[in-house]
Structure 1
Amino acid sequence: MKRLIFNADDLGLAPETNEGIERAHREGVLTAASLMVGEAGFEEGLRVARANPGLAVGLHLTLTDGVPVLPAAQIPALTQKNGRFRDDMAALGLLLALSPAARSELAAEVAAQMARFAATGLSCDHVNAHKHYHLHPQIAVELMRAASGAGVRCIRLPWEPGPLVRAADPASPGTAEWALKPWCRVLRRRASRLGLLAPDRVLGLAWSGHFTVERLLAALPHLPEDGVTEIYFHPATAGGFPGSAAGYSYATELAALVDPRVAEAVGAAARGGYAAMLLPNDAPGGTGKPTP
């Protein structure tokens, strides 16, 4: 039986994302969401999480294009003069590789975000990072350590199979699978040593911000029967809000998740959060078998 995680990034970013994620869960197929704990919509995102206990919520670690949990003065290597995180991801990545002081600030901020999530009282279903910044070796190390220390068992490793993307949409350019596949394999081994599991594959990278219902309906029949597939989205009721990505079709992604044709196409496939799909014996109410 196929095991699917329908996940939404950016819970807690803005009213538009919070409302879109709640609708996608209540009216559609969404089973999980990743919470940003430092953004303006955090409290409302927390309300959405608490009001929807069937929605598995994890930490969406934010280290770029966002607001830190710690005071900017405590993490100057990571922030700009305006108090927000730096947006020059490549330059910051190089600094993290070269500077022990910057890595110390990184560890402190990751720990602070994990602690803020823990303070909500929610069970942390999984961890991942905004813009997949945890593909950086130092960020991956700190996120995995923090997650393991907090008892979190699941992480996203964004390897997307190129043939799957092209089977659904031959015109899609796909992603740098030649680099992502071996690196995610390395990260998977590191995660495993800390007791963290990841879905076998991810879908949504090549179509980030442009995941239409047509693409979703075309992809579903091609998903492998074995293992766990995470399909992730950025649903919102509209774009143009503070923190939104230029050109993203947020409402289009929401429409894909609530389209009745998608629910019909999913059929008897098991759906749930990371823990429910990867650790069915350990998930709340787990029976050893994913629940359709």
Structure 2
Amino acid sequence: MDCRIFFFADGGTEPTRASMPQPKVKLVVTGDDFGYCPRRNHGIVECFQTGGVSNVSLLVNATSALDAAELAKIHLIPIGLHANLSEGAPVSQNLKGSTLLNEDGFFHGKTGFRKVLSSGQLNMYEVEQELRAQVKRFCELVGHLPYHMDGHQHVHVLPEVREVFAQVLADFGIRYTRIPVEPGLHACPLIPPHLHEFYIQVQKDALSSVEVFRRHGIRWPDVYLGLTTMGQNMSIDNIKQALGYALGARCLTNTLTTPLTGTQTDEIAAANRPVTVELMVHPGYPSHPQEGGCGQGPDDFSLSEDRQHELEILTDPSLLAYYKQESIQLCAFRDL
């Protein structure tokens, strides 16, 4: 977003964000899995144009990644990398027989990746090789480095992987990542028990990754949201409730997850600035069977009607009016 002052012939200036009232919340609404299939791409672009998302995350090994990159250029969509180590085929051409891959040459899957990692059989050099290949592929597709980089299915906060992930971010100068620690997650009654157990483990891993990313100079928003508002659990009321949790949990979240500011003056300034929040979303239209994915076809998550449900909620005029009413400013990672 452009914050320059433009002078007009009459000597006046155009109002800028610096002269406008300070928002209470700077909200990054990230549409994940951009590139997964043509219908996902279409829905995400529609959502961006309507004001429902402000930022996207690209799967560079997905079948429609090139199309997604072109759409991001055409529509000036802020874009980052959704690094993928768990679904589909790798980007690197040097991973034949890799511990990252099963006997069919594909990644092990969300659960399988974690099993191989916990068994101690995952080669971290191969992880690093694939992550670097995906960053380079992103640059080839988009024309610049990612504004942010996180892990598909939250693999970036897992033990050992987070060390490699943070080093790759630092080496490329990518400043922002995602720390999936969500206020209100423990008490959320909407999530099925098996998913709730997985999300709680994701949160534990995320908390353990904080010092690793901090040590490498990587940053992230004050608050993360998205696990309690995914799919059919997304509603305008649930988004409002999640944002309420975010505001209420600011102090705790700053202490646990955000990089330390150092001086007392810095701390006072931080207390007076807007809360920064990332809301992870997955809008789109359901994939056609056999069209999309990352080399193995679309999964149930992408085939479901949940994608379109999220799209409809995120673009609902009453939600967009709520943002304006509550001084919630949508922005992208590059604007933070």
> What's the CA shift string for 1:56-78, capped at 9, x where partnerless?
21110101122210137535211
CA drift of 1:171 comes to: 4.3
- Count the aligned residue pairs: 270
Which residue is 2:113 aligned to?
A: 89
Which residue is 1:266 aligned to?
A: 323
Structure 2 residue identity aligned to 1:252: H
Residues 1:40 and 2:63 are matched in the alignment: yes
Which residue is 1:285 aligned to?
A: none
SS at match of 1:58: strand
Q: Map 1:223-242; keep pairs closer than 5 Å.
A: 223-224=246-247, 227-241=275-289, 242=292
Which residue is 1:139 aligned to?
A: 161
SS at match of 1:206: coil
Indicate the percent of aligned positions where both proteins have the same amino acid.
23
Take 2:234 and 2:164, find their aligned partners in 1: how far apart are those partners?
34
Pair 140,112 (structure 1): closer, same or farther in 2 beyond 3 Å? same
Take 1:221 and 1:161, find their aligned partners in 2: how far apart are those partners?
9
Take 1:210 and 1:245, find their aligned partners in 2: how far apart are those partners?
17
* Alignment match of 2:171 (pick from 149, 156, 160): 149
Which protein has the larger Cα radius of gyration, Structure 1 or Structure 2?
Answer: 2
Take 1:19 and 1:178, find their aligned partners in 2: how far apart are those partners?
32
Pair 65,183 (structure 1): closer, same or farther in 2 beyond 3 Å? closer
RMSD: 2.5
Moved more, 182-191 or 122-131: 182-191
SS at match of 1:190: helix
- Consecutive unaligned residues of structure 1, counting only runs of 5 or more, are 278-292
- Tell me, yes or no, if the aligned pair for 1:162 and 1:175 is still in contact at 8 Å: no
Which residue is 1:2 aligned to?
A: 25
Pair 19,107 (structure 1): closer, same or farther in 2 beyond 3 Å? same
CA drift of 1:172 comes to: 4.5
CA drift of 1:94 comes to: 2.3
Residues 1:26 and 2:49 are matched in the alignment: yes
> What's the CA shift string for 1:201-225, capped at 9, x where partnerless?
2111134333423322443455417
Q: Map 1:119-268; keep pairs closer than 5 Å.
A: 119=140, 120-162=142-184, 166=188, 171-172=190-191, 175=196, 183-214=205-236, 215-224=238-247, 227-241=275-289, 242-243=292-293, 244-246=298-300, 248=304, 249-267=306-324, 268=327
Pair 66,137 (structure 1): closer, same or farther in 2 beyond 3 Å? same
Moved more, 15-24 or 85-94: 85-94
Which residue is 2:34 aligned to?
A: 11
Residues 1:79 and 2:101 are matched in the alignment: yes
Moved more, 176-185 or 151-160: 176-185
CA drift of 1:164 comes to: 9.2
Take 2:168 and 2:61, find their aligned partners in 1: how far apart are those partners?
17
SS at match of 1:199: coil
Take 2:58 and 2:196, find their aligned partners in 1: how far apart are those partners?
25
- Tell me, yes or no, if the aligned pair for 2:31 and 2:280 is still in contact at 8 Å: yes
TM-score, structure 2 as length reference: 0.73
Pair 218,136 (structure 1): closer, same or farther in 2 beyond 3 Å? closer
> What's the CA shift string for 1:228-249, capped at 9, x where partnerless?
1111111112245543442541
Which residue is 1:289 aligned to?
A: none
Take 2:244 and 2:95, find their aligned partners in 1: how far apart are those partners?
50
- Consecutive unaligned residues of structure 2, counting only runs of 5 or more, are 1-23, 251-274
Which residue is 2:334 aligned to?
A: 275
